[in-house]
Structure 1
């Protein structure tokens, strides 16, 4: 958040404007959506595939795709008019809606970027500058979860480790039985980070880990960071919006990012980066430097050169779509959570395995143990089995390898991460159940995939 003036006040907005916490039901949505209408909105999905992997790429309704295409054509029809008259007020409107949804105090705390990976680069780039400029000492510490998203781990390596920072991973148990296990391991990592008088400059905390998928007690971990004097807290919530509760005042992090294309029905790709406004506000910049450099992160992010900004402009239409569901986004979250737990329990019972966490520690994704007899013994096995399920059975689902601990034999080593979104049907999960049952019945093992 730069301290420099903003030449485009209509883009950055009035940070003191009072607006309601949650967007109200749109006047354009006169009736609740029906099941038939839901299926029609997603009839562009491949009907031969049980698509139970919404978590990876999200989904976009046809009505939103059509709105996006209209915006794309509008730009191509008269780019100058679109740039000077439509783009900036359109992005401002999207930012206002996001501000309301996540309960941020100030509009200029909200920047729209391509994805959570871009948001991570913005935050971590600033950490690297702090090392380079002598604000941080060589060997100062950054904490991250062992199950942090792979791209974010690479960013930490590129920006923090290379700049001289020391990175400590929080090793989390899996399967996990309670949030207390996570809190315990997090405290241990913080203690290690503070050894020999070192400073913990940054904690990177996932709100929902990707693989394995578990909802992290992020509010409690942020509170612990404050108590232990951690300089900055960045919450990577790639799966947050539309999947779990996201309230900036309640969570209290310095930085928070979430994709809108995963669980909020936006087309790829759009995410927001929240940067808490405070007296010592950090001067963040977009890693792509363009004409708006120095005018504040929100303004810089709104123009990084000629590109397709349509995904950032359809947010109001997406809110109209969401508000056609009973209780809006809250209703969708509850519906998806309840259904994914039910389907996960059904699969675990059918395969006589277990879930990867208690139901209260999942949102719209849950980990389900696969039969041990499948012989999953490496990450490569999971990739080959996933491909086999896609090509032979028409099932799309990610699989996680959990290495057995010393002394463990004949245990579950493979977990499927199933998602539930509004377009999913019970038949999708029955198809997955039956595919695994057929493999077990045929005496299949992953070793056969190498022949």
Structure 2
């Protein structure tokens, strides 16, 4: 066994190690398809090789002796993950943090709780739930599945895009709140994205939460699916009742791993996981830790992820800062090359940015956007989501297609140059989305 002096020396040596090198980063992500310029971290995230190895060790611990793992390892390991999340998001207490599979599961927990209030007559038919028009598709469907069937009224906040400033978001949200309160109706739940998915924009959530409080909204749920590892999160400063984020998108965990923060309150104590299992009634955190036999390993590697982050200059904050700066730089390069515009100003971009594509590509529908995305993938080995924006009345040669580019530590400038050159080639050759049908 090493002496205390030896252990201290080793720790000091480790803390002084050089920042991770480009070749080491390349090695950590060598399992990525090397032929693909992947500028779409936003969809599925990424997981370093060292974290995949850690996940495999957790999997083998379970498979080696499942009973021992369940009775002696799983709960303490989940607790360790919850404690780390508590620190990362500035929650008051670890009991406010539950580990779930993904943000969609977290939304189901909140919406199921809201639906029960309608069924019990605590909420009245016609009372409203408000959410952004750009809310994630699965969450929007969940709202209608849980709320519309109970007699609740769903109001969508239509936000402008492209967007020039956060004040436009605030203004439209305020209008929707007033609409929701019309005719004596009550707004029972507001669902606010921290970063919208498509199109991607940072939402001024602290201001919108404060507006909701001022207008008497009962409960506020922030969907921060893209947030942790991408922007700073301070749940106390935000002030919402619920906050969720995926750890597998920007925090280097394998899929699927997420957390749900629930602010401590007697009113909100009756929260349950949608899957009822043996831990039912022992609190949401316990219910979420065991929903039947499944692979929990993705949720247990956060300690190893935190160690991985220390290899980068500035740790997580340094990564977030550089990702933002790099994606803005690459977005501006593409805008200049294509003669278009950004979908949002740099301060409303996170590690993702919306870049207008040349109007001559003829993107006239979401189907066109999907076909163009497929063409870029199959013919140019570039992976990037494309968003279709319907033109406004009177617009001449409008930009209707926007590429959502991401930047994560594994990306290099060449990835974005390949996207630039691929689109320029399509423009030069006169290829349009209509021709992709032939």
Q: Same fold (TM over 0.5)?
A: yes
**Which one is further off, 284-293 or 34-43?**
34-43
Q: How does 1:287-326 map to 2 (within 5 A)?
A: 287-326=274-313
Normalised to the residue count of structure 2, the TM-score between the two structures is: 0.96
- 1:206-242 Cα deviation digits (max 9, x unpaired): 0000000000000100000000000000000100100
TM superposition shift of 1:85? 1.2
Residue in structure 1 matching 2:350, options 354, 359, 363: 363
1:407 is aligned to: 394
- 1:41-71 Cα deviation digits (max 9, x unpaired): 0011001000000000000000000110111
The answer for unaligned runs of 5 or more in structure 2 is: 1-10
- Corresponding residue SS for 1:83: helix
1:212 is aligned to: 199
CA distance in structure 2 between the aligned counterparts of 1:306 and 1:33, rounded to whole angstroms: 37
Q: How does 1:223-372 map to 2 (within 5 A)?
A: 223-372=210-359
Normalised to the residue count of structure 1, the TM-score between the two structures is: 0.93
- Corresponding residue SS for 1:354: coil
**Which one is further off, 71-80 or 178-187?**
71-80
**Structure 1 residue ranges, 4+ long, deviating more than 4 angstroms after superposition:** 25-30
CA distance in structure 2 between the aligned counterparts of 1:424 and 1:204, rounded to whole angstroms: 32
1:76 is aligned to: 63
Kept after mapping to 2: 8 A contact 1:142/1:203: yes
- Corresponding residue SS for 2:249: coil
The answer for unaligned runs of 5 or more in structure 1 is: 1-24
TM superposition shift of 1:283? 0.9
1:48 is aligned to: 35
Number of residues paired by the alignment?
427
CA distance in structure 2 between the aligned counterparts of 1:27 and 1:119, rounded to whole angstroms: 41
CA distance in structure 2 between the aligned counterparts of 1:80 and 1:309, rounded to whole angstroms: 14
Matched, 1:142 2:129: yes
- Corresponding residue SS for 1:344: helix
Residue in structure 1 matching 2:82, options 86, 91, 95: 95
TM superposition shift of 1:246? 0.5
Change (3 A) 1:72 1:29: farther
CA distance in structure 2 between the aligned counterparts of 1:307 and 1:315, rounded to whole angstroms: 18
TM superposition shift of 1:369? 0.2
TM superposition shift of 1:28? 6.1
- Corresponding residue SS for 1:417: strand
- 1:63-102 Cα deviation digits (max 9, x unpaired): 0001101111111111111111111111110100000000
- Corresponding residue SS for 1:261: helix
- Corresponding residue SS for 1:67: helix
Matched, 1:444 2:426: no
TM superposition shift of 1:34? 1.5
- The CA RMSD measured in Å over matched residues stands at 1.2
Change (3 A) 1:347 1:36: same
